Amino acid sequence: MLLLALAIAPGLAISLYFIFRRRYDREPLPYLLACFLLGMISTIPPLGIQLAVASVKAGIGRHSVWSYAWFAFVIVGLSEEASKFIMLRYYAYPKKEFSDPFDGIIYCVMIGMGFATVENIEYVERFGVGVGISRFFLAVPAHASFAVLMGYNVGLAKWYPQKAVWLMARGLLVAVLFHGSFDFFLNLQQNDQIRQSVSQGLLSFGAFATFYVAIRLAMRTIRAQRRRLDE
């Protein structure tokens, strides 16, 4: 029970923060709950893809840096962010309540937190409390920051329909780049040969730098939207 609570807590806390972050004209709660559930469901396609290439992942320690990059950015980053994007685009985006960039942020964060919660439950059950605590402060907030950046761009697409395709593609691309970069540096630390040629500290710095930049951009985006709404 403690492990389950530890796995669920960060996604739930971040979801509640964003739900109540908007003082006026809040999104309908049933839609937000639906987005959270869709985020949970969106873990299925990436899981299938990653299981299909499990042999590649198992032998990735023998591969080059480029193999790590392919796995982090395409197999993981693209598959996971694209799955979340599909839920956002085809469930939340068409609704009349989805009308501005901050709506895009909230709906996408709910999807992202549903995804991160399922992922967190799996990791905590497999690796225990230590991993649960580290993911509480790193992986789950990282998923939230990726969702903010994607959702903001998809929200802009409602304002600028003539640029909708580009804005949606940009949102997906930004999320994939940050997600892939974060996983890339973390995965490199699992390779003994790479750790001998590149210091552990440098690899850790790459992961934390990606995390920091994503969080800073997400927070700046949220503050800008809050100022706009309060004017």
Cβ atoms of residues 120 and 8 within 8 Å: yes
- In one-letter notation, the amino acid at residue 176 is V
- In one-letter notation, the amino acid at residue 180 is G
Nearest to 147 by CA among 50, 17, 30, 23: 17
Which pLDDT value is given to residue 67?
A: 83
One pLDDT digit (tens) per residue for the chain, 231 residues: 777 888 899 999 999 998 887 666 778 999 999 999 999 999 999 999 988 886 555 554 456 788 889 889 999 999 999 999 999 999 999 999 998 899 999 999 999 999 999 999 999 888 888 888 888 899 999 999 999 999 999 999 998 999 999 999 999 999 999 999 999 998 887 766 666 556 666 778 889 999 999 999 999 999 998 877 766
Give the pair of three-digit tokens for residue 46.
């990436």
Which pLDDT value is given to residue 82?
A: 98
Which pLDDT value is given to residue 55?
A: 59
Which pLDDT value is given to residue 31?
A: 96
Residue tagged 């699992």 (tokens): 190
Q: How far apart are CA 97 and CA 91, in angstroms?
A: 12
Which pLDDT value is given to residue 99?
A: 87
Q: Report CA-CA distances (Å) from 154 to 20, 145, 147, 172, 177.
A: 21, 14, 10, 9, 16
pTM listed for this prediction: 0.92
CB atoms within 10 A of CB 112: 34
Which pLDDT value is given to residue 6?
A: 84
Helix (H) or strand (E) run with residue 85 in it: helix 79-87
